[in-house]
Amino acid sequence: MEGVVASIDPEDLREEIIELGKLADQARSLEEREIETKLNKLMEVITEGGIFQDEKMKLLIFTEHKATSSWKRMGPATSGS
């Protein structure tokens, strides 16, 4: 284990853990922005395609992302369009 970490000093390890936590938070933030950008583009394409012009039209989107699934009920009234 000593070869894996930069130091075995408890204080250094605490600082390293804090730094890793900050990096993980930044990574999550970037991932959320990327998903949001993709959702905005999807909404733009769907709107431009006239999907929301027909009130009876239904659209089914399969996703593995939590953010997309929370967006699933969005339509013209909630999309800001």
The average pLDDT across 4-31 equals 85
Q: pTM of the entire structure?
A: 0.44
pLDDT at res. 28: 86
pLDDT at res. 68: 57
- The ranges assigned to domains in the chain are 10-72
3-class SS of residue 54: coil
pLDDT at res. 69: 58
Contact between 67 and 32 (Cβ < 8 Å): yes
d(CA 21, CA 77): 38
Name the token pair of 61: 């989107």
Instruction: Give residue-wise pLDDT tens across range 27-69.
Output: 888 887 887 788 888 888 888 888 878 888 777 777 776 655 5
Q: Give the up-direction half-sphere exposure of residue 10: CA atoms within 13 A in the CB hemisphere.
A: 0
pLDDT at res. 78: 46
